[in-house]
C-alpha cells in the first residue's frame, strides 16, 4: 500500500453558497474531472436566509481535499468552503426499511432487532411496514444485514448531514464582516485579500 493510499480517509467538505441554477453541476464537474467519487452529497438551506449549504463526503488525502476546497471556492456563487475529518463533525444519516408486516407480527426476534436498533414505524400497512432509523453508516448497514433473512423488501439511505464541532456558525462570520468599517480608500480586491481571515472557523 502506498503512502497516499494509507493517508486517505473520509472528509466532509462544507460549502456555503448562493442558491443559483447550475452551481451543483459545476461543483460535480470539479470532482469528475479528477476522477474522484462523491460518497455522499447533501444540499440544504443554512442558518442564513438565501444561503445554501453543501455537504460533500469523499475519501481522499488531505492534500487533495485542500486543493478541491480551493477550486470549489473559486466559483462566483461560493462564499466559503471548509473541510473536516469525521472526528471534527457531528454527523448522521437516515435510513428507511420496508419489511413484511406479517413477519414482524409472527417473529418476536424481528421486533426485538428493530427495537434494539432504535427503529420506529413510520407507515404500517397490511402487507408491509416501513421503519426509520438515524445513525452512522455502520449502524444502518448492520440493520440491513439483520433484516435480510426476514424478507427485507426495500432499503434506502439519505445523504449525510453534518455540523462542524468547532464552528461558531457562518452567520456570525458574516455579521463580523458586516460590522467592519470600510476604509476611506477601498481596494478592488480588499474582500478577497481578507477572505481567509474573515471566514475562518
CA atoms of 121 and 123, how far apart (whole Å): 6
Q: What is the mean pLDDT of residues 123-138?
A: 94
Per-residue pLDDT band at 188 (split at 50, 70, 90): very low
At 187 the pLDDT is: 44
CA distances from 137 to 40, 100, 116, 130, 141 (A): 11, 23, 16, 19, 6
> Is 80 exceeded by the pLDDT of residue 5?
no
In a domain, 58, yes or no: no
Per-residue pLDDT band at 175 (split at 50, 70, 90): low
Our measurement of the distance from residue 93's CA atom to the centroid of its chain's CA atoms, rounded to an integer in Å, reads: 9
Q: Which domain holds residue 109?
A: 90-157
CA atoms of 153 and 129, how far apart (whole Å): 10
pLDDT digits (tens, 9 = 90+) for 43-74: 999 988 999 999 999 999 999 999 999 999 99
In a domain, 144, yes or no: yes
In a domain, 128, yes or no: yes
Per-residue pLDDT band at 195 (split at 50, 70, 90): low
CA atoms of 152 and 166, how far apart (whole Å): 39
Q: What is the CATH number of the domain that holds 118?
A: 3.30.70.1150
In a domain, 47, yes or no: no
In a domain, 151, yes or no: yes
Total structural domains in the chain? 1
In a domain, 175, yes or no: no
At 193 the pLDDT is: 53
Q: What is the mean pLDDT of residues 19-30?
A: 94
> Is 60 exceeded by the pLDDT of residue 81?
yes
Q: Would you state the cell numbers that stand for residue 14, as one nine-digit string? A: 462544507
Q: Would you state the cell numbers that stand for residue 197, as one nine-digit string? A: 481571515
Per DSSP, the three-state class of 3 is helix
In a domain, 105, yes or no: yes
Amino acid at each position: 500500500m502506498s503512502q497516499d493510499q494509507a493517508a486517505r480517509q473520509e472528509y466532509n467538505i462544507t460549502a456555503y453558497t448562493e442558491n443559483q441554477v447550475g452551481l451543483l453541476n459545476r461543483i460535480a464537474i470539479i470532482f469528475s474531472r479528477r476522477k474522484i467519487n462523491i460518497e455522499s452529497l447533501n444540499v440544504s438551506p443554512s442558518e442564513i436566509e438565501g444561503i445554501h449549504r453543501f455537504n460533500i463526503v469523499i475519501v481522499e488525502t488531505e492534500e487533495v481535499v485542500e486543493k478541491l476546497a480551493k477550486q470549489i471556492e473559486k466559483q462566483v456563487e461560493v462564499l466559503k468552503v471548509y473541510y473536516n475529518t469525521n472526528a471534527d463533525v457531528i454527523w448522521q444519516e437516515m435510513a428507511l426499511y420496508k419489511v413484511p408486516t406479517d413477519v414482524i407480527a409472527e417473529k418476536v426476534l424481528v421486533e426485538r432487532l428493530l427495537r434494539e436498533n432504535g427503529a420506529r414505524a413510520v407507515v404500517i400497512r397490511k402487507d408491509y411496514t416501513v421503519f426509520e432509523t438515524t445513525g452512522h453508516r455502520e449502524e444502518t448497514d448492520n440493520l440491513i444485514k439483520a433484516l435480510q433473512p426476514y424478507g427485507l423488501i426495500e432499503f434506502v439511505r439519505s445523504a449525510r448531514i453534518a455540523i462542524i464541532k468547532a464552528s461558531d456558525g457562518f452567520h456570525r462570520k458574516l455579521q463580523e464582516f458586516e460590522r467592519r468599517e470600510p476604509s476611506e480608500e477601498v481596494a478592488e480586491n480588499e474582500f478577497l485579500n481578507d477572505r481567509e481571515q474573515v471566514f475562518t472557523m
